Chains A and B, each alone.
Chain A
Amino acid sequence: AQSVAQPEDQVNVAEGNPLTVKCTYSVSGNPYLFWYVQYPNRGLQFLLKYITGDNLVKGSYGFEAEFNKSQTSFHLKKPSALVSDSALYFCAVRDDTGGFKTIFGAGTRLFVKA
């Protein structure tokens, strides 16, 4: 069965500092991994995805994520946080066995202080 864990309910970081939002996963086959961001009362916006290839994936708004197969992790990172990055971040996974059901993590709220 597929599962996603986001171990931190909340991450606090000062503006200009690097940020990391953690995600670990479990799938039967090879993973397709995604990060989405949600602003209050809004739907989800796609940030980036890993399907295959380079383990370091670059996405929107300066975000990147590193796929680590041995640790089954896909942590979201940004070198320099902005106050406007404050939002709810969801990690999601599905496997490559043919279905398209995507499982979402519980979400991590990011607060960036000025």
Chain B
Amino acid sequence: GAVVSQHPSWVICKSGTSVKIECRSLDFQATTMFWYRQFPKQSLMLMATSNEGSKATYEQGVEKDKFLINHASLTLSTLTVTSAHPEDSSFYICSARRAAITETQYFGPGTRLLVL
């Protein structure tokens, strides 16, 4: 149990376009989902925390208008990178917290974004 999926697993896009990444909890309800960004050979940096039905909480330095997060249901959160630029190229990872169990996060497999 506690499986989190992400789609797509990788995406290449042109500069200026928008890209949507989906994060789904497949076998549990996730009251909270987290979006991380990971640069090569570096740790995970929390971008934002999203709670179902409410606005996401962004970390300092993360542009809200650039990285749009929607958590429309207890099993789905989306991250949209708007007007992507090459510097947005990165590995994006989501995680989910089960509603009844608070301590552990379950991570998706990640989405690699390359902006040309």
Interface footprint category on A:
10 to 19
A36–B49 Cα distance when bound, in Å, is: 19
Across-interface contacts of A32 in B (CB, < 8 A): 103
Within 8 A of A (CB), among B102-116: 102-110, 112
A46–B4 Cα distance when bound, in Å, is: 12
22 pairs, CB–CB < 8 Å, chain A vs chain B: A34-B104, A36-B107, A41-B110, A41-B112, A42-B109, A43-B6, A43-B107, A43-B108, A44-B44, A44-B93, A46-B105, A46-B107, A49-B103, A49-B104, A90-B43, A102-B46, A102-B105, A104-B43, A104-B44, A105-B43, A107-B42, A107-B43
A32–B6 Cα distance when bound, in Å, is: 26
Interface of B, helix, strand, loop or mixed by DSSP:
strand
Tell me if A45 is interfacial: C-beta within 8 Å of chain B: yes
* Chain B positions near chain A (C-beta within 8 angstroms): 4, 6, 32, 34, 42-44, 46, 49, 91, 93, 95, 97, 102-110, 112
Tell me if A106 is interfacial: C-beta within 8 Å of chain B: yes
Flag if A51 contacts B42 (CB, 8 Å).
no
Tell me if A61 is interfacial: C-beta within 8 Å of chain B: no
Across-interface contacts of A44 in B (CB, < 8 A): 44, 93, 95, 107
A102–B106 Cα distance when bound, in Å, is: 12
